[in-house]
A = this chain, B = another copy of it.
Amino acid sequence: MSDRKEQIIEACLAVMAREGVAGTTHRRVAAEAGVPLGSTTYHFASLNDLLHCAFDRFARRSGARLETALLRATDRSSAVEAITDVILAGAQDRDGELVLTQELYTIAARRPEFRDITTAWMHRSRTALERHFPPDLACTVDALIEGLTLHGALESTDSSTPSRARTKNALLHVISAQPCEGTGKNG
């Protein structure tokens, strides 16, 4: 991919984070990237195209964080630690990540052509989780990560950040439900 294209995609992500998908226009992206207006329509067939490229990059980048963390983890205990880190980081909306995630889900929920991005993201997350957990539990943990991140972010009005202890506890609760291993047979 040409440098120009790269530049435009990154600029598009910045604009999406700042102004939202609805506020992302050729003009604003061009201005952000410091390229001529025509450049944005030349390199991408349509604005939709550009959005798709940008969201794809975003999903890969965001997903990689969990994947990397889980790859480094050596056992369940360190995996839980890593997941907790990822949840807390996500809930703080660093660089508008939460906003972008929500925008992606919204556009995916509405427009099927964006569904491939979320599907792939979920798939990669679960595969990574399956290094440490059986498939069904991986799904549950994945859902819990999603919910805790979102609720954590929506809760944290000002300085109140979701507690690390409670987050980790919730995870442990789900993961270490050993007495109930009978439910695991469904996975």
Using Cβ atoms and an 8 Å threshold, which residues of chain B touch A173?
137, 140, 174, 177-178, 180, 183
* Interface majority SS (helix, strand, loop, mixed), chain A: helix
Chain A stretch 94-138: residues in CB contact (< 8 A) with chain B: 98-99, 102-103, 105-106, 108-110, 112, 115, 118-119, 122, 136-137
Chain A stretch 155-187: residues in CB contact (< 8 A) with chain B: 155, 157, 165-166, 169-170, 172-174, 176-180, 182-184, 186-187
Asked whether A155 and B187 contact (CB < 8 A) given A105-B150, A109-B93, A147-B143, the answer is: no
Q: A98-B109, A136-B169, A147-B147 are in contact. List 9 more A-B contacts (CB 8 A).
A: A99-B110, A105-B154, A140-B148, A140-B174, A143-B146, A143-B150, A169-B183, A177-B179, A177-B180
A69 at the interface (CB under 8 A from B): no
Using Cβ atoms and an 8 Å threshold, which residues of chain B touch A142?
147, 151
A64 at the interface (CB under 8 A from B): no
- Interface, chain A (partner B; CB < 8 A): 20-22, 93, 98-99, 102-103, 105-106, 108-110, 112, 115, 118-119, 122, 136-137, 139-140, 142-148, 150-151, 153-155, 157, 165-166, 169-170, 172-174, 176-180, 182-184, 186-187
